[in-house]
Amino acid sequence: MKILLTGKNGQIGWELQRTLAPLGEVLALGRDRLDLADIDALSSTVRALRPDVIVNAAAYTAVDRAQSEPVLAMKLNAEAPGVLAQETARSGALLVHISTDYVFDGRKASPYVEEDATHPINLYGVSKLAGEAAIREAGGRYVILRTSWIYASRGQNFLKTILRLAQERDELRVVDDQVGAPTWSRLVAEAIAQIIVQVRAPNPSVPETYHLTAAGETSWHGFAQEAIRQAAELCAFKPRACKITAIPSSEYPLPARRPLNSRLSSTRVGAVFGVRLPPWQAGLRMCVEDAVQSGKLLSVNT
């Protein structure tokens, strides 16, 4: 099996290079070799490589900057996935595409299921939803995986930011009215590998959209508290901040609005593929333990 992986340097893409390796030949490309903004080059590259599976982990993920760069966000998050889907439809390959909880407005009182009506409240969400639509319209074989609150021990993300700030400040003020499930990027990458094996089997599942997040829920404030507690317990992390204050979103204004409810029900992906991610606290512990064992402390900018 030949697998083309886009966005190899992203949080999920980095992990996918390892989890996809046992499945076959992995052609992992970053922006330096495959710029999704260059639509013509994107199409020609796919045709030249002739992959059996494309895993699209690349995206425009600067949520706030997307408000002022709508053209670029739409090109990377909507137009490029559409081209990948057209190429897989032409060749009979499979496209696995990573999407987001931001396709919803966050007003629902319970976790979102795949059939719920979408209504993004920021341009990033609009662009990702347009990408989903383009994939479906292409008529090829696809799996769309919506996930949320991704973190890792590398790159820029909430986990690393909060641990750094905890060593620099006496008090942290963290939003407490946005709820979701923090999800370790490696767990998503491992799940994607499991799904590909099953979809490529003799009796593959039909194209579908699935939700994939860690079990349980918390707020950003709750995530911050648990992250600092675990890091301090596991790796001699000494936070300076002794006070973590819960604040509403209104006290932390950003250019792009965020859904207050980012909870996604992962029931369908569990029923179809047997994929069930552990509670978010367990995933967080695995991430911190992995970072400690590898010598890459989360408290430093790596």
Name the residues annotated as catalytic: 124
What b-and-e string marks burial along 83-111, b requiring 16 or more CB atoms within 10 Å of the CB?
bbbbbbbebebbbbbbbbbbbbbbebeeb
Q: How many CA atoms lie within 13 A of 290 on its CB side?
A: 14
- b/e per residue 226-250 (b: at least 16 CB within 10 A): bbbebbbebbebebebeebebeeee
Q: Where are the beta strands (DSSP E) in the chain?
A: 2-6, 25-29, 53-56, 94-100, 141-147, 150-151, 171-175, 179-180, 183-184, 208-211, 218-219, 243-247
Distance CA 283, CA 287 (A): 6
Q: What whole-number distance in Å separates Cα of residue 141 and Cα of residue 85?
A: 8
User: CB–CB of 268/144 below 8 Å?
Assistant: no
Q: Cβ(34)–Cβ(41) under 8 Å?
A: yes
Instruction: Give CA angle at 111 (105, 115), nearest 5°.
Output: 75
In the chain, the amino acid numbered 10 is G
